[in-house]
Amino acid sequence: MRTEGMEPAGLEPAGMGTAGIEPAEMEPAGLEPPEMEPACEAEEPPGSPSLPAEAPQDGPVAADPPGEGELPAAPCRERERGRCGTGPQGSAGRAARGRARRAPGRRSGGESARRPGVTVDSSKAKTSLEALKISLRQLRWKEFPFGRRLPCDIYWHGVSFHDNNIFSGQVNKFPGMMETVRKITLSRAMRTMQDLFPLEYNFYPRSWILPEELPLFVAEVRMLKDRNPSWKPTFIVKPDGGCQGDGIYLIKDPSDIRLTGSIQSRPAVVQEYICKPLLVDKLKFDIRLYVLLKSLEPLEIYIAKDGLSRFCTEPYQEPTLKNLHQVFMHLTNYSLNIHSGNFIHSDSVNTGSKRTFSSILCRLSSRGADVKKLWSDIISLVIKTIIALTPELKVYYQSDIPAGKPGPTCFQILGFDILLMKNLKPILLEVNANPSMRIEHEQELSPGVFENVPSPVDEEVKVAVIRDTLRLVDPQKKKRKDTQCQSAEQEAGEELPEAALPSLCLKQVFPKYAKQFSYLRLVDRVAALFIRFLGVKGTTKLGPTGFRTFIRNCKLSNSNFSMAAVDILYIDITRRWNSMGIDHKESGNPGMCLQAFVEAFFCLAQRKYKSLPLHDQVASLIELCECRLAALRGKRLVWGCGLAQRHRALPAAGTAPCTGPAPPRGHQVFRLQKTSQLRALMCRDRTGS
């Protein structure tokens, strides 16, 4: 579901300059392992600029196009389908593939050294199945459409991590991703980051959560209207669990929310509607960009160099009471507009109701817009959003795949829905855990008779994203590269299968730009403290004992903040969060969730460092906690070593006792009679208790 957000106060393009990408800072945080360089990146087609090597820090804001943000029609060359990997590869590519098929198996020691192919379980792929099949054929990997008794290398799920019980290999879903990107959870995570870094996160609209924040929403709107009587806003209400435009509606006044009568049973998010978006052909549109989250630890993010632009089907007008309910004018959801009589299916990437993002960039570039600056802002938006989501994801990840236990590794393709304002400022609408990967659409042949028709625009973009995602997570990549290096001298001149494939359409943006964004990962460090004190593996909520242990180990209690006050803080915050009815993995567990712990941590920081701004308060408390926990760990390790030495010095059972002087009375506690006590001590240190 793609909807609109609010234009935050002071939303200027210069606000994104804090994360501008300087040429000197484009080096990755560390050396990339060999598996991160499977192929060179794709050359950009005409009219689709590459991701920027640098972004101007103080350059002028792109001028508004003529008229109400509308771009006049501009010629743009059609892109070659083959550049994205879904069209024919030409005679050279076919010849290379033919040579690869006819090439004899490599010999080593007189025996065939044929490698087993990568195996993919597609039994749960659902709507992405066709695009996945095309990708697997291009890669010549082995597909198991009905599953397999033996383990596969990759499991492709259509909905969530739990579509199948997987204990090895790789899965294309992260546990907890669906819950993390729900509208309410996303809005809370972004609000936390806006409290810490208001300028850096001004690309996401300020949101109110219904029903619990309805009084706050009414009061703030009334206050803003009193300050500026000419302000006549429009708001958009989006149900928390809705999809494909279900349940979205626009209102002019907060009192209209009560007329729906369903807020109590269906929580929602309300945001201010952006009334002046960028228009193309007098139509409002949004952008679907595909982002690959390849790894959580270490964090690896890739962005597809092309995406989709989805258009409304009625000419745009600013919202009024008369047109407020015209969804084909205001909502860009493909699932809604496809039912409009004005929807245009086109085989061209430059026309129709669904086009490639590169065709829009081509038109912007032809009008003199700074497309590199736009790409820089989009990269910044994506990285900052992922940074806001990772703390919650790590909690879910350790719950389903505890550290030290065997289990699968995860990756996931996310769909970022972005709206461009008239000044080319990108605004995040939402993040989709399961973006549609269908490469066909339904066409009505006669009343009530439909047929699935291929969509060239979808196929061009989506097949390339899936295929290159598989190439990046290829589990046999390193082994294959080593084998190829060893046999290079024996079979010089033989073309590798990789050479027959198009260049990668996915661009790494993290850790490539880690230096510019690492300072934003404060909540990540708070989440690490939260996970450390969870104690019981497989849980996502912190109990009262774990919270008290956190306070004691970090020495945060004193005469002015007793342990009784700690208990009251825990009870108040936990009770309020549990009463909100948010869907968590452990809805029956009354413990403290991560978002509640973050709120409690902020309260502790404000209590301890009253004179500092919130960002500095939180950063100072994090450093204090990390320092004290490190010192405590060091003491325990030294103590454990001393215990082990004393235990080895104790006489064995049945031997004569030592005749030396007795140790001091205070040291009697160190006489461990069983090695299990030492193991328990070290285990307790690892869990942070």
pLDDT at residue number 307: 96
Helix axes 675-687, 614-649, angle to 10 degrees: 170
pLDDT at position 621, please?
97
Q: Measured between alpha carbons, how far is 682 from 640 in angstroms, rounded to an integer? A: 7
User: What token pair was written down for 649?
Assistant: 């010095």
State pLDDT tens for residues 183-202. Answer: 999 999 999 999 999 999 99
Average the pLDDT over 565-571 and give the result: 95
Would you state the structure tokens that stand for residue 144, as one six-digit string? 């198991």
Per-residue model confidence (pLDDT) at position 483: 61
Give 14's pLDDT tier (boundaries 50, 70, 90): very low
Helices (H), 11-57: none
User: Does residue 689 register a pLDDT over 50?
Assistant: no
589 pLDDT more than 60: yes
Tell whether the model's pLDDT for residue 149 goes beyond 70: yes
CA 466 – CA 135 distance, rounded (Å): 7
Task: Please indicate whether residue 401 or residue 629 has the higher confidence score (pLDDT).
Answer: 629
Specify the pLDDT at position 165.
Answer: 81
Which single residue is written with the structure tokens 């435009």? 245
Q: What is the mean pLDDT of residues 450-469?
A: 91
pLDDT, position 162: 85
pLDDT for the residue 636: 77
pLDDT higher at 460 or 639: 460
Mean pLDDT of all residues in 351-359: 93
Residue 493 structure tokens = 């001149």
pLDDT at position 198, please? 95
Residue 582 — very low, low, confident or very high, per pLDDT cuts 50/70/90? low
What would the DSSP string read from start to end of 88-124? Answer: --HHHHHHHHHHHHHSPPPEETTEE-PPPPPEEEEEE
**Would you report the helix, strand and coil content of the chain in percent, each value rounded to 5?**
40, 15, 45
Tens digits of per-residue pLDDT, 205-236?
889 998 889 999 999 999 988 888 888 889 99
Q: Give 432's pLDDT tier (boundaries 50, 70, 90).
A: very high
Cα→Cα distances 210→139, 216, 402, Å: 47, 10, 34
For the stretch 508-551, pLDDT in tens is: 999 999 999 999 999 999 999 999 998 766 789 999 999 999 99
Amino acid letter at 510?
F
What is the structure's pLDDT at 657? 54
Other CB atoms closer than 10 Å to residue 434's CB: what's the count?
A: 21
Q: What tokens appear for 510 in the block?
A: 């993290």
Distance CA 221, CA 214 (A): 11
- Neighbour tally for 261: CB within 10 Å: 8
For residue 401, what pLDDT band results from cuts at 50, 70 and 90?
A: confident
Q: Which of 238, 226, 239 is nearest to 272 (CA)?
A: 238
First to last CA, the chain: 43
Selection from 60-69, 437-446, 508-517 with the highest mean pLDDT: 508-517
Q: Is the pLDDT of residue 505 over 90?
A: yes
What residues contact residue 175 under an 8 Å CB cut-off, 6+ apart?
160, 161, 162, 396, 397, 399, 400, 401, 410
pLDDT digits (tens, 9 = 90+) for 481-500: 666 555 554 444 333 456 67
What are the tens digits of pLDDT across the range 640-669?
676 666 666 666 555 555 555 554 444 444
Mean pLDDT of the chain: 78
**Strand ranges across the sheet with 249-251:** 207-210, 268-272, 235-239, 249-251
pLDDT at residue 261, as a whole number: 53
Pairing of strands 207-210, 268-272: antiparallel
Kindly indicate the confidence band of residue 619, based on its pLDDT and cuts at 50, 70 and 90.
very high
**Model confidence at 368: pLDDT above 60:** yes
Is 24 buried (19+), middle (13-18) or exposed (0-12) by CB count in 10 A? exposed
In the chain, the amino acid numbered 153 is D
Token pair 């697997």 is found at 136
pLDDT of amino acid 635: 80
C-alpha to C-alpha distance for 476 and 35, rounded to whole angstroms: 9
- Enter the tokens of residue 580: 């909100």
The percentage of residues in the chain with a pLDDT greater than 90, rounded to a whole number, is 49
Q: Are 441 and 194 in contact (CB under 8 A)?
A: no
Lowest mean pLDDT among 9-18, 63-72, 161-170, 306-315: 9-18
The dihedral built from the CA positions of residue 574, 575, 576 and 581, taken in this order, carries a sign that is positive
Examine the pLDDT at 257 and tell me if it is beyond 50: yes
pLDDT band at 11; cut points 50, 70, 90: very low
Contact by Cβ (8 Å): 417, 287: yes
Q: Name the residue with tokens 């609408």.
A: 429
Nearest to residue 464, comparing CAs of 8, 186, 131, 240?
A: 131
> What length does the chain have?
689
Q: Structure pTM?
A: 0.78
Check whether 88 has a pLDDT greater than 90.
no
Choose between 297 and 86: higher pLDDT.
Answer: 297
562 pLDDT band, cuts 50/70/90, is: very high
